[in-house]
Structure 1
Amino acid sequence: MKSPRAILLLLLLALSTGTALAQSRAADSLRRLLNTARRPDTTRVRRLHALVTELAATDAPQALRLGREALGLARQLRDTAGIGRGLLWLSILHRREARYDSARYYTLLARQLFARRHDRRREAKACLELSLIDQLQSNPASALAWALRGLPLAEQSQDLAVQTQLRSTIGGIYSQIGDYPSALAMLQQALRDGRRLGDQQVVAATLSNLASTYQMQKKWPQALYYFQRAVQASQRMGDVKNETTNEIGLAEVYGQQGDHTQALEHGYRARTLVRTNQDEYNLPAVQLMLARSFLLTQRPDSAVALARQALQLSQRTRSNGNIGNAADVLAQAYAALGNYRAAYEHQRLYADYQDTLAGEATQRKTSALRYGYELGKKQNQIALLNKTRQLQAQRGARQRQQLYGLLAGLVGALLVAALLWRNVYNKQRANRDLNEKNEQIARQRDDLTRALTGLREAQTRLIQREKMASLGELTAGIAHEIQNPLNFVNNFSEVSVELVEEFMDGPWQRLPEAEKAYATELLDSLTQNLQKITHHGHRADSIVKGMLQHSHASTGERVLTDLNALVAEHLPLAYQSFRAKNKDFNATLTPDFDSRVQQVNLVPQDIGRVLINLFNNAFYALQQRQLTGPADYVPELVVHTKRQRNQVQIRVQDNGIGMDEEIQQKVFQPFFTTKPTGEGTGLGLSLSYDIVVKGHGGTLSVASQPGQGTEVVISLPV
């Protein structure tokens, strides 16, 4: 079964809905204007963009050429509005040609421009375009991130049209990842808003997404109903591409119900539309739909031929959705033909595609994105409460001014004192009610602020835990994959050394004296080579074990911890561990703990891992200077803890070899190390940075002078 029809959203930004004849007349008129008025000004830029709009659906190469000309002229004139429109149009045209890298490049430039100009409406359109590009490449997490980033921008600019397009896109993504209740709610709202706006493109795309959502749930009557309405809407607009896509959807639903006659009828209709309009975009989908029909009618050979063509076309255009569907069809067809090896290979390709949509990592990312969107709503509620309080404060100020006027009138109007006293009493009561309301609003605001702070902390922990888990899984997977072949290398090298020794004790003795010298030389070289293989194999084995140690994930639960005790526990532990590998190394350890540093809320396993990494790096720097420094050099490591206003600090100082400025700028990058090959993985400081900064909201900094030493400072919030 196909994924929900994100393909239809490809046409959401199409600006042309007239007939082909009207488009041709408009295009001819614009060409005449451009040929007669050649002055390079902003008017020419807008006319070029209008001609691009007319030609986008009928002459893509010409539209691309004119779009580049318009962008170049807009940049020459420094026409920022024209630059933004030009970038967005080039992105749309490249996306329609399945050139997604170029499309993403132009859209990112457009979004940056709109963000600098604080143009929220067009920035929301750029986010929509980026979401469509990622959705077409079956990257639902990134597509959802861009859509949820664009929706608040569209809401702030009160652009209902872009809001509706984004909701239709978000609904399609929810359906794609299997969240059908959320998808249906979002798509129904988009359908209502699209009809109210009279936006037939959005209505047609949303109808198709609703049909696909019901198809994924195997609710065939609803799927057929919405696909048929989507076909009718596409025919009314003259939108052949969407009509083709919906005909494919009808064929799939009939095929899934077992009605092969109707399935083939709609399938051949879709194929006719593709051939008539030379629609290479929908061609793989038509081939896959017919291949499924052949598969269901026990014709696996025909299914293989069509599915292989579809797979080749999809791989050329990098259409991940069609690649996954083609792999699924080929796996079933090869299995029916008894070619189980090919079936297994294509089944693995299909499983990899499914993992990108429904894997745990994708689910965690999409959940975190929706979580962040809810946080944004909370922030808007707090802003609204603050604004309400300001308005009521202004109203109270006006009431106080009226009260002062009444009091002044009391001096000159003793005859109406009773009436004035009554008015004063009423105003005071109103002020008391107003003060009570202000206090209530302040309490609500404070409660929401605390809730928002808690949600932010939870989101930060969730993201950090996910990152640490992903890094651990990746590292452990790589290490385990390397471990087996590495064990074979070590074992066979040791066995080969023993075989050489046996040869020296046996057959070598029986060789003629003239050949013994040459054989001895060869065997010595072979023995040296095997010893080197064994040495380097053991070095690689230690690296793999180090990677496995880095992959161990912590619980991520923060607890109140005595920070001084934690540092005092890990300092001698790291020192003894380093001396166990370096017998001749000795250093002076100087702890300097601030008694005001007491209980700190942190993850002790993670901070302990950071301390071990920092201490080991310091010991290594001390050892290197001890080997190359003067004879009277005394290695020393000083560890300070200090309590400041809202944070605590851990300062690790050594008088080792130090680092220059260039190395200091790279030390926190993953896999960067200053140690020789085989002595460091380059993961320690990168992992430490993530734990301190992203996991605990602190800071990690380094300061160093070559030949004098290094100081690393950890700052953690209290």
Structure 2
Amino acid sequence: MKLFAILLCMSLTVYTLPVAGQVPHAPTPRPAPARPDTARVRRLLQAAQQWSTADIPRAIRLSQQALGLARQLRDSVGEGLALLRLSTLHRRHNDFVLARRLARQAQALFVRRRDRQGQGRAWLQLSLIDMLQGNPVPALASALKGLRLAGQAGDSQTKFRLQATLGDIYYKLGSYDDALHVLQIALDGGQRTGDEQVTLLALNGLGNSFQMLKKWPQALSYYQQALALSRQLGDAIGETGSETSLAEVYGLQGNQAEALAHGLRAQQLVRATHDDYNLPAVELMLARAYLLAHQPDSALALARHGLHLSQQARSNENIRNASDILAQAYAQRQDFAQAYYFRNLHLAYNDTLSGEDTRRRTSRLRYDYELTGKQAQINLLTKTRQLQAQKTARQRLQLRALLAGLAGVLLVAGLLWRNIFLKQRANRHLNEKNTQIAAHRDQLNRTLTELQATQAQLVQREKMASLGEMTAGVAHEIQNPLNFVTNFSDLNVELLAELQDELAQEPASARPAIRQLLEDLTLNQTKIQEHGARADRIVKRMLEHSRTSGGARQATDLNALAGESLHLAYHGWCARNEGFSATLTTDFDPRLRPVPAVAQDLSRVLMNLLTNAFYAVTEKSKHADATYRPEVQVQTRQTDHAVEIRVRDNGAGIPLAAREKIFQPFFTTKPTGEGTGLGLSLSYDVITKGHGGALSMESQEGEYCQFTISLPVGVESVLEEIVA
């Protein structure tokens, strides 16, 4: 979550008492004149609001006094306001459990009083609590409930604040277009009613959404407006959020000087206000700035401390951001084991906050909210029809009584009959409208059923498309060698026929022609064998790709296995390529412990990676100058969580466009006929699926290429669990 959302949600007060000279933001029911004792409750709450930014413990004590006095006086309105004030203060004090309990108590009180305005504000408080804890689904549910109640109560102030909160939730879910739409409505409402906090939250939210859309000028414009408004209001919390947002945008644009300047300013503001809650978010922002400046040590120090504080506060959003920064920082330091660990942690929290399940649940909430609004309209029309029917029935009874008592008053009877006729025509028109509404509702239900069926069909089609793509790849790869086999076989038949004709004539002049035919036939047969062998290799690679390993894991010495595979691969390559020579460099970690693994499968992976390395240096030596010396390196390392094997060559490297596809089946960078495209895909499956490890690649075109095998250390049962 962006820091501005945390800061503004911390400062956003769910309910504020009007101060002297302040004009209410929206027309609300005028309360009855307060008794002297209840007026003291309001004064205590007003004082708690004034101390809420400077001294939170003092504000809590004042609010508790107001709550106790309100309960003593049985002042339910003051009790609800005091509960919401305490909930806001404990939320800002990072005590979410107590804040939620107090908000629930206020909500129950407002439900008993049938106070829709108070219920809407209680739902706003619950939505803010869930949003700060990184729970977008319950936050969205609470915001939609509060929005409906605020609209029914005519509470425009709470409505605009809920819309600003909805915009922030949509941003976190990745629905940036929806976020921009809702936040623009909230901004217009805040500016129209003079609600500076809603205006500030909407400005930062719009800047954040444009930042994610990489529209830097719009993002900077909104952030700068928010910074100016925060300084105008003397709001140090809002100023901190705007400084942080500007630092992030400048960092993403590569302007590290401006990024660090704004980031350090935000850090100074947090320390000056003793804002311990938002300190981890500011430290993570500075850590990202140092990461972009290629200073991983500074980034690691800040990110570790930010992660520790975020785990204490149970802030899922900050934990996800800290894990992402730590993964990138360790990757810059070449510590891939730690990078892999924190990347997995980042992915886990990312799925929790914005995964497919979260998107599906929030979409369902939005659909239910819209459907409930339609249903409310239908219920209102139905109730109106029932009232009209009851009214018509009463009028009929009145008419009969009048006709029985005033049979002679024809003029009055005629007027009454005309009135009844008009009412009946209106009722018929209303019945027709109700029928149309019911038909529209049924049509919506049918459309929903069709959409669900279409969704299921699309899922099945996607599966079939994947299978078809695999089949097409197989057919495409096998087609070329089989075409060669077919074409040269046909040529051999023709050449044999010509050879028979020439032999029948047997003159001495035909012997050179017969000899030429025999040479052509021999060459064609060689081509048939070559392409037939290639088709056989493709089929075998496909079978290896689909075959699961049947070997049992045993404690394997990876140093010995890597050394043996290097020498076998080198001698095999030299046997197939006369005159080839390369420098073999090994760096084996003596602390390497035996790892439970299938030695045959790992040997096959190493042989494949080493063969590719020898191929790369061979190809580069054909075009390089005399100073080039082919070299292949094999290195092993023992870390806290994994064992690594690195295979590196100084060949031509892999182009950037091909790196994302390097582990896909049938993808190869070799010329046609020299590779099947299944070796790296098979190796990837053996390492990741067969051993629960990781296979990664890094390369610089024209300089080097390095493959890293990472196998987790531990007992064999852990590996079995990973495979399962």
Q: Aligning the two structures, in what range does the TM-score lie when normalised by the shorter sequence?
A: 0.5 to 0.7
Q: What do the CA deviations read for 1:657-705 (whole angstroms, capped 9, x no partner)?
A: xxxxxxxxxxxxxxxxxxxxxxxxxxxxxxxxxxxxxxxxxxxxxxxxx
Mapped pair 1:303 → 2:299: yes
Give the match for residue 346 of structure 2: 350
Letter aligned with residue 443 of structure 1 = T
CA–CA distance in structure 1, aligned partners of residues 289 and 274 of structure 2: 23
Question: Out of 168, 171, 185, which is 2:167 matched to?
Answer: 171
CA–CA distance in structure 1, aligned partners of residues 338 and 48 of structure 2: 46
Q: Does the CA-based 8 Å contact 1:328-1:346 persist in structure 2?
A: yes
Offset, 1:440: 0.4
Offset, 1:96: 0.4
Give the match for residue 188 of structure 1: 184
Give the match for residue 373 of structure 1: 369
Letter aligned with residue 46 of structure 2 = A
Letter aligned with residue 434 of structure 2 = A
Give the match for residue 62 of structure 1: 58
Letter aligned with residue 11 of structure 1 = S
Q: 1:407 to 1:431 in 2, by over 3 A?
A: farther
CA–CA distance in structure 1, aligned partners of residues 403 and 395 of structure 2: 11
TM-score normalised by the chain length of structure 2: 0.55
CA–CA distance in structure 1, aligned partners of residues 100 and 144 of structure 2: 17
CA–CA distance in structure 2, aligned partners of residues 201 and 188 of structure 1: 14
Give the match for residue 88 of structure 1: 84
CA–CA distance in structure 1, aligned partners of residues 85 and 105 of structure 2: 12
Offset, 1:457: 10
**Structure 2 counterparts to residues 512-527 of structure 1, below 5 A:** none
CA–CA distance in structure 1, aligned partners of residues 15 and 110 of structure 2: 20
Letter aligned with residue 432 of structure 2 = Q
Give the match's secondary structure for 1:5.
helix
Offset, 1:14: 6.3
Give the match for residue 570 of structure 2: none
Give the match for residue 124 of structure 1: 120
CA–CA distance in structure 1, aligned partners of residues 18 and 408 of structure 2: 76
Question: Out of 349, 367, 382, which is 2:378 matched to?
Answer: 382
Query: What is the number of equivalent residue pairs in this alignment?
Result: 444
Q: 1:283 to 1:409 in 2, by over 3 A?
A: same
Q: What do the CA deviations read for 1:227-256 (whole angstroms, capped 9, x no partner)?
A: 111112212221110110111001101111
Q: Does the CA-based 8 Å contact 2:83-2:106 persist in structure 1?
A: yes
Offset, 1:82: 2.5
Mapped pair 1:447 → 2:439: yes
Give the match for residue 144 of structure 1: 140
Letter aligned with residue 9 of structure 2 = L
Q: 1:40 to 1:385 in 2, by over 3 A?
A: closer
Give the match's secondary structure for 1:252.
helix
Q: Does the CA-based 8 Å contact 1:6-1:209 persist in structure 2?
A: no
CA–CA distance in structure 2, aligned partners of residues 50 and 148 of structure 1: 29
Offset, 1:445: 4.8
Offset, 1:116: 1.6
Give the match for residue 8 of structure 2: 8
Q: Does the CA-based 8 Å contact 2:280-2:307 persist in structure 1?
A: yes
Offset, 1:155: 1.2
Q: 1:444 to 1:240 in 2, by over 3 A?
A: same
Offset, 1:446: 3.6
Offset, 1:282: 2.8
CA–CA distance in structure 1, aligned partners of residues 402 and 119 of structure 2: 51
TM-score normalised by the chain length of structure 1: 0.56
Give the match for residue 434 of structure 1: 426
Letter aligned with residue 91 of structure 2 = R
Give the match for residue 249 of structure 2: 253
Q: Which runs of 5 or more structure 2 residues have no equivalent in the other structure?
A: 23-34, 454-551, 555-724
Offset, 1:378: 1.8
Q: Which runs of 5 or more structure 1 residues have no equivalent in the other structure?
A: 24-38, 462-487, 492-718
Give the match for residue 330 of structure 2: 334
CA–CA distance in structure 2, aligned partners of residues 246 and 96 of structure 1: 19
**Structure 2 counterparts to residues 403-552 of structure 1, below 5 A:** 430=422, 433-447=425-439
CA–CA distance in structure 2, aligned partners of residues 457 and 130 of structure 1: 33
CA–CA distance in structure 2, aligned partners of residues 361 and 275 of structure 1: 38
CA–CA distance in structure 2, aligned partners of residues 112 and 377 of structure 1: 23
Offset, 1:103: 0.9
Question: Out of 102, 105, 111, which is 1:106 matched to?
Answer: 102
Rg (Cα) greater in structure: 2
Q: What do the CA deviations read for 1:196-241 (whole angstroms, capped 9, x no partner)?
A: 2111111101111111111122121111111111112212221110
Question: Out of 354, 361, 379, which is 2:357 matched to?
Answer: 361
Offset, 1:325: 1.1
CA–CA distance in structure 2, aligned partners of residues 120 and 460 of structure 1: 35
Q: What do the CA deviations read for 1:130-152 (whole angstroms, capped 9, x no partner)?
A: 11011001110011111111111
CA–CA distance in structure 1, aligned partners of residues 99 and 47 of structure 2: 20
Letter aligned with residue 45 of structure 1 = V
Q: 1:296 to 1:17 in 2, by over 3 A?
A: farther
Q: Does the CA-based 8 Å contact 2:227-2:243 persist in structure 1?
A: yes
Q: Which moved more, 1:131-140 or 1:208-217?
A: 208-217
Give the match's secondary structure for 2:43.
helix
Q: 1:61 to 1:427 in 2, by over 3 A?
A: closer
CA–CA distance in structure 1, aligned partners of residues 129 and 189 of structure 2: 24
Question: Out of 270, 276, 288, which is 1:280 matched to?
Answer: 276
Q: Does the CA-based 8 Å contact 1:5-1:209 persist in structure 2?
A: yes
Letter aligned with residue 383 of structure 1 = N
CA–CA distance in structure 2, aligned partners of residues 395 and 74 of structure 1: 45
Offset, 1:316: 2.1
Mapped pair 1:203 → 2:199: yes
CA RMSD in angstroms comes to 3.9
Q: What do the CA deviations read for 1:91-117 (whole angstroms, capped 9, x no partner)?
A: 111110111111111111111111122
Q: Does the CA-based 8 Å contact 1:288-1:326 persist in structure 2?
A: yes
Q: 1:40 to 1:159 in 2, by over 3 A?
A: closer
Letter aligned with residue 439 of structure 2 = D
Q: Does the CA-based 8 Å contact 2:15-2:121 persist in structure 1?
A: no
Offset, 1:411: 5.7
